[in-house]
Amino acid sequence: MNKAGYYFAVLAVVLGFFPMCSEKSFAAEQVLFEFGGDFDVSSVVTSDAKVTLAEGRLRIETGHAQTWPGVTLKAPNEKWDLSGYEYISIGVRNITDEPVTVSCRVDNPGADGSKNCMTDSITLAGGEQGTLTVNIFPVPWKLSEPLELVGMRGYPVHAGKVDTSNITQMLFFVTRPGIDHVFEIGNIRAGGKVTILDAKTFCPFIDEFGQFIHRDWPGKIHSVDDLKEQVTTEKNDLAAHPGPQDRNKYGGWTAGPQLKATGLFRVEKYKSKWWLVDPEGRLFWSHGTDCVGSTNATPISGREHYFRSLPEEGSEFAQFYWGGSWAPHGYYKDHSPYKTYDFSRANFLRKYGKDWAAAFAQITHKRLKSWGMNTIANWSDRDIYLMRKTPYVCTISYNSKTLEGSEGYWGKFFDVFDPSFREALRQRLESEKGRAIGDPWCIGYFVHNELAWGDEVSLALATLKSPAEQPAKKVFLEDLKVKYKTIEKLNEVWGTNHATWDALLRSAQTPDKEKAWVDLTTFYTKTAETYFGVIREELSKYAPNELYMGCRFAWVNDRAALAAAKFCDIVGYNRYNYSVAEQRLPDGIDKPIIIGEFHFGALDRGMFHTGLKKTDDQQDRAEKYKSYVQGALRNPYIVGTHWFQYKDQATTGRGDGENYQIGLIDICDKPYPETIQAVREVGYNLYEYRLQSD
């Protein structure tokens, strides 16, 4: 059987002989605009833009004098009734050589950019084309009447952000462009199917396996026998795909060059590209996934009626009840602590028996090798990665005194000048003795995650807002005293009126950013360099010659990134984009980068939220995975990508409500065949692809 035929056969079995398509493929579409020769160009409202027809497309040329140059297309009969549709899709082509981000806003009457409208965008490289999708209804299911549902980021609703029965216009624009752009849009269609569900009979809506009750889909588990059959199905699949043959035990490339072997992972630039080098001296590119573990608990307190068949206390499956308190956002932030149930672990017990934990760990390593993955990435189960069958990253998290005037999505920034910052790190590193420290299977260390770096003066302003006893504030004032000598000279520059240095210490007043810019940015840099420098010093003591990979930037400015590059071996970013092919460090710094998180999701397999980057369906998701990772492979600075995460989040959400369809496996431990095929296509050829790409 040829390769294509084999993949089809495996997918047919894995999917339970369901057709390889989504419901969306067969949904009726409504054409909203066609740009043929009879289209009236004069009907287009322009703003710092001009339009022409170009072979069945509308060509839009935008200037850069206004904030949002673009065009408005009004509904031909004053409005569209799109109440049966899920999304609007538009083909977009970038005509120029420069990248462009094109946004589409879909309006109700009274739209102002935030209210009564929905906006989405697509970023295209020079000459690239793609499909811009605006989801006008959040999920494919509409409740017949309002019903309160809590603890989830996405869920079936009665009404979305816009009234889909009264869409009046669409805007296409670019935001704050520095140059002119030219792009084309093709025919505009409404598509997808929104199914109406009776709100009175909606609950319970989660079955005993943790799946959505009110929809069927390819591969859905309907019985324990279905779960057990998957064991044989996957065993055959893994046997047929044992993994790339030209790899050593670490996943390094044995068919490639032999470089210096140090017994630990390191980085080296080879043929104008940055690479990891494995302990045996082979080229290594980290192709991995985060959150490799068995736990997947969902809060049930106050939501027991959501679930059809929770186990009775004292029963075999009652062992998967637990408790939780972590809820930085969402409903359970104000309803903590709470009781949880773990459907994933219950399914492992059904599928693998009483020794499910060991069986799950074993098959996880087999899967990663079979899929062409070579890394167990952040947030993973120590018992699994310390089996030392797959290289791993070590996650270093710890708490110390915070900078009280700071704020951020995950919490306040650390006061890096307080002794507790260094001491807590030392205590945490002590716990890695005999584990990651000195372990050749450990690729390196991420310390912290998605910190609140803000703009390039934010941490300095936060310091000034902090109380007088804040160590960082005392350090800042000492620096200012050295520079200005007197409070009067500082007041003159800052435009402030502090009576004494002590008055400034006790004040929470912040100066005009422009007037105090030099001092604010100087102290920001000092804070950032102290943060990375302290960690670098302690890692060098505890784990000499092992890699420091930064703090996994999510929100970052150049000043913080420059500080990271000064002290880190590799700079880590969590990058939820559709491409990282052009990811660079500021100021042209030549240093390796690693992607700590990215993902894509779709709503065609019974989940309620796509995660941070949506796709149309599972096939589109697979294609975007392949495109993202191959873009990273072409990037000479990137030395790895880590998918977030190994398995789907619970359908009803974790403590903060995240309930994303972002797994390589689902709640029932079943791999998504379309995505796994893409992972294999990338993983089996990643070394040749990277070395040969320009």
Give me the mean pLDDT over the 326-338 stretch. Answer: 96
| pLDDT, tens only, 501-536 | 999 999 999 999 999 999 999 999 999 999 999 999
pLDDT of residue 25: 36
pLDDT of residue 7: 35
- CA-CA distances (angstroms) from residue 7 to 13, 15, 681? 10, 12, 11
pLDDT of residue 693: 87
List of E strands, 148-256: 169-173, 181-191, 195-197
The residues facing 581 across adjacent strands are none
pLDDT of residue 37: 87
pLDDT over threshold 80, residue 255: yes
pLDDT over threshold 80, residue 16: no
Give the strand pairing for 638-643 and 286-289. Answer: parallel
Give, for 134, the enclosing helix (H) or strand (E).
strand 129-135
pLDDT of residue 694: 74
Give me the mean pLDDT over the 22-43 stretch. Answer: 77
Does residue 684 sit in helix, strand or coil? coil
CB count within 10 Å of CB 317 equals: 18
CB count within 10 Å of CB 132 equals: 20
pLDDT band of 76, cuts 50, 70, 90: very high
Question: Does 204 sit behind a cis peptide bond, omega within 30 degrees of 0 on the bond before it?
Answer: yes
| pLDDT, tens only, 357-415 | 999 999 999 999 999 999 999 999 999 999 999 999 999 999 999 999 999 999 999 99
The fraction of the chain above a pLDDT of 90, given in percent, is 95
pLDDT of residue 27: 44
pLDDT over threshold 60, residue 213: yes
pLDDT band of 6, cuts 50, 70, 90: very low
What residue ranges do the domains of the chain occupy? 28-192, 224-378+566-692, 396-551
One fold for both 28-192 and 224-378+566-692?
A: no
pLDDT of residue 537: 98
CATH 2.60.120.430 fits 28-192, yes or no: yes
pLDDT band of 28, cuts 50, 70, 90: confident
| pLDDT, tens only, 197-206 | 999 999 999 9
CATH 3.20.20.80 fits 396-551, yes or no: yes
Tell me which amino acid residue 570 is: I
C-alpha closest to that of 152 among 164, 142, 138: 138
| pLDDT, tens only, 548-585 | 999 999 999 999 999 999 999 999 999 999 999 999 99
pLDDT of residue 549: 98
The fraction of the chain above a pLDDT of 70, given in percent, is 96
To which CATH superfamily is domain 224-378+566-692 assigned? Glycosidases (3.20.20.80)
Mean pLDDT of the chain: 95
48/39 Cα distance (integer angstroms)? 21
| pLDDT, tens only, 647-676 | 999 999 999 999 999 999 999 999 999 999
Given a contact cutoff of 8 angstroms between Cβ atoms, the answer to whether 569 and 267 are in contact is yes
Least confident of 10-24, 151-165, 365-379, 635-649: 10-24
Question: Does 645 sit behind a cis peptide bond, omega within 30 degrees of 0 on the bond before it?
Answer: yes
Close Cβ partners of 542 (under 8 Å, ≥ 6 residues apart): 426, 429, 430, 432, 433, 437
190/29 Cα distance (integer angstroms)? 6
pTM for the structure as a whole: 0.92
| pLDDT, tens only, 133-160 | 999 999 999 999 999 999 999 999 999 9
C-alpha closest to that of 376 among 397, 394, 402: 394
pLDDT band of 13, cuts 50, 70, 90: very low
pLDDT of residue 8: 33
Give me the mean pLDDT over the 86-115 stretch. Answer: 96
438/455 Cα distance (integer angstroms)? 37
Does residue 49 sit in helix, strand or coil? strand
